[in-house]
Structure 1
Amino acid sequence: MSISEKIKELHTTLPKHVTLVAVSKTKPVADLQEAYDAGQRVFGENKIQEMAEKWEVLPKDISWHMIGHVQRNKVKYMAAFVDLIHGVDSLKLLKEIDKQAKKHHRIIKCLLQIKIAEEDSKFGMSSADASSLLASAECTQLENIQIVGVMGMATFTDDTTQVQKEFNNLKTTFDHLQAQHASLEIISMGMSGDYELAIKEGSTMVRIGSSIFGARNYTSASQVNP
């Protein structure tokens, strides 16, 4: 199937309450444009420079999501346009996002990244840390960010029982946090290999890349021209 056919199929089969983030990292602008022409409006990138280059040339009604690990010194390069930052794992990062958003008179939405995987390579905070952060005076004083939910990445494994358990842990964390903070509404979990399981466990936002665009070509990650 073509990119446009895959997009249309996903739009048809995904539940209405689930947002599809088309993960377009390393993919050329022509591929994103094809997805856009098929009706896709939300795209996820994990490199700020690459996302900024694509933002420059693609339609301006696209909602750009930063799904990778964010370095504080790079926030300024996306503050003018990024719609949602998935991987917020510290108060320091939140403060920097707030600072840069203020310069552009914007409010940037953020998700707290919760560590649910057993792999050491995965970033994220504990449920207790997230609860403390949301309740802190320093966090509530930030006026140019809006924390709207949580994000998590399951262990890269074929053990669906383990993945299901990790997704369930994120849903439990979300429920606990939402009880104190009603503004939370997004649970971002699930990728190409496990998004159906993630949805069953409560995901409201899935990040799908290879199932739409095919395998990634990391040798041309910076190539954004059609």
Structure 2
Amino acid sequence: MDAFRALRAELPAGVTLVAVSKTKPVEDIQALYDLGQRDFGENYVQELLEKQPLLPGDIRWHFIGHLQSNKVKYIAPFVYLIHGVDSLSLLKEIHKQGAKHDRVIDCLLQVHIAAEETKFGFDRDELAPALDHAFANARLRGLMGMASNSLDRMLVREEFLGLAELYRQYRRPDWDTLSMGMSADYGIAVECGSTMVRIGSLLFGSR
């Protein structure tokens, strides 16, 4: 687990490390937990539901994949933060399920910043109208975005800087999270103002 220790030492204070544990066995997650890691990210609801009961109760589970509205009810009782809220209908469903479980579920709005059309998220001009809506049981904590899967570091930097500017422009008093940066580009993301990075392969090895 030298990679974990090195990464923790490298990240500045105030940047949260989310260990992306999708497809990884509970033993690997437990090993990182034993080293002090508490934030883990999963992409698939069924996989998360299988792992969650087998691991310590104080793990902060982040759902970082594309979440379908009809799956929210399964993770609503325990999920810590939902990263990829990409529609108002999904936000409404999170509020609905949060109310059922007497929980306020923290969320991030996903903004489409990448050149690829396959990425999900609100476009820049959709962001302001989305923020006009407030839901008591779905609390917005900030923004999330994924840069282009590109070796062009200037392009990636421009995309992260654009998201950071949107975060500053629309920031609310209770916002504290700008989630951007993964294994290949987290360094650029942190330089551009990220407060949360999602790292998988650097910690667990390639899938």
Q: Secondary structure at the match of 2:175?
A: coil
Q: Conserved in 2, the CA contact under 8 Å of 1:8 and 1:39?
A: no
Q: Secondary structure at the match of 1:150?
A: strand
> Partner residue of 2:93?
96
In structure 1, what is the Cα distance between the partners aligned to 2:118 and 2:125?
20
- The aligned runs of 1:28-107 (5 Å cut-off) are 28-107=25-104
Q: CA RMSD in A?
A: 0.8
> Partner residue of 1:109?
106
> Partner residue of 2:199?
208
Q: Conserved in 2, the CA contact under 8 Å of 1:189 and 1:198?
A: yes
In structure 1, what is the Cα distance between the partners aligned to 2:13 and 2:49?
29
In structure 2, what is the Cα distance between the partners aligned to 1:44 and 1:122?
18
Pick the aligned partner of 1:134 from 125, 131, 149: 131
Pick the aligned partner of 1:187 from 136, 153, 178: 178
In structure 1, what is the Cα distance between the partners aligned to 2:78 and 2:158?
35
CA deviation after TM superposition for structure 1 residue 182, in Å: 2.1
Q: Conserved in 2, the CA contact under 8 Å of 1:7 and 1:39?
A: no
Task: Report the residue type matching 2:38 in the other structure.
Answer: R
Task: Report the residue type matching 2:120 in the other structure.
Answer: F
Asked if 1:19 is matched to 2:16, the reply is yes
In structure 2, what is the Cα distance between the partners aligned to 1:75 and 1:191?
24
What is the CA deviation profile of residues 184-212 of structure 1, one whole-angstrom value per residue up to 9, with x for unaligned ones? 22110000011011000010000000000
In structure 2, what is the Cα distance between the partners aligned to 1:83 and 1:130?
23
Gaps spanning 5+ residues in structure 1: where? 217-226
- TM superposition score normalised by structure 2: 0.98
- TM superposition score normalised by structure 1: 0.90
In structure 1, what is the Cα distance between the partners aligned to 2:21 and 2:197?
13
In structure 2, what is the Cα distance between the partners aligned to 1:201 and 1:207?
15
Higher normalized contact order (CA 8 Å, seq sep 6+, divided by chain length): 1
Query: How many residue pairs end up in the alignment?
Result: 207
Gaps spanning 5+ residues in structure 2: where? none
